[in-house]
């Protein structure tokens, strides 16, 4: 081997030195480097898992928000429907109350008119009675007392009411 330029003891020393260097590098450089690379790989994997988890949570949160929004819209629509229904009921109640008040007003007005009519008829009867008495006194030249006068008027009015009833 010496003819090839290799010296065996030197070659052995180089191989031993190279082996020691590989051992030292393996223990002090390669293992920590592999450990650091494994740790980094683990951190990257955890980050990816966290990102996937966060994406899933965001998706779930988005779905929950959309569901809440849909529910809020339904609730708002329900409240609007209730408000419309309450407004319609109130309007109907107010219309019924107004109709009732109008009918009561008409009935009171009719009663007032009837009362005024009866009052006017009573006044006309009294005036007619007084006129009739005056005319009768002049005709018969004597005075009729008040009781007789009322009896005569009632009799005349009953007879005229019967005659008017037959004429209709």
State which of 9-18, 128-137, 152-161 shows the largest mean pLDDT.
9-18
Indicate the average pLDDT of the chain.
86
Q: Please tell me the pTM assigned to this model.
A: 0.40
As a whole number, mean pLDDT of residues 110-128 equals: 86
**Do 153 and 142 meet the contact criterion of CB atoms below 8 Å apart?**
no
pLDDT at 146: 74
For residue range 83-106, what is the model confidence (pLDDT) as tens digits? 999 999 999 999 999 999 999 999
Give the confidence band of 113 by pLDDT, cuts at 50, 70, 90: very high
Full DSSP string of 72-96: HHHHHHHHHHHHHHHHHHHHHHHHH
152: Cβ–Cβ under 8 A, 6 or more apart, which residues?
129, 132, 133, 136, 144
How many Å separate Cα 128 from the centre of its chain?
69
Least confident residue range of 12-21, 31-40, 155-164: 155-164
């Amino acid at each position: 081997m010496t003819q090839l330029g290799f010296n065996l003891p030197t070659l052995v020393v180089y191989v031993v030195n190279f082996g020691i260097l590989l051992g030292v590098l393996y223990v002090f450089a390669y293992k920590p480097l592999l450990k650091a690379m494994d740790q980094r790989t683990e951190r990257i994997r955890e980050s990816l898992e966290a990102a996937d988890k966060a994406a899933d949570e965001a998706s779930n949160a988005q779905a929950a928000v959309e569901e809440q929004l849909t529910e809020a819209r339904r609730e708002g629509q329900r409240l609007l429907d209730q408000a419309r229904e309450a407004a319609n009921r109130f309007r109907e109640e107010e219309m019924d109350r107004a109709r009732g008040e109008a009918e009561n007003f008409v009935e009171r007005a009719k009663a007032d008119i009837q009362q005024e009519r009866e009052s006017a008829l009573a006044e006309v009867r009294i005036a007619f009675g007084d006129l009739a008495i005056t005319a009768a006194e002049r005709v018969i030249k004597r005075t009729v007392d008040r009781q007789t006068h009322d009896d005569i008027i009632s009799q005349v009015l009953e007879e005229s009411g019967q005659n008017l009833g037959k004429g209709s």
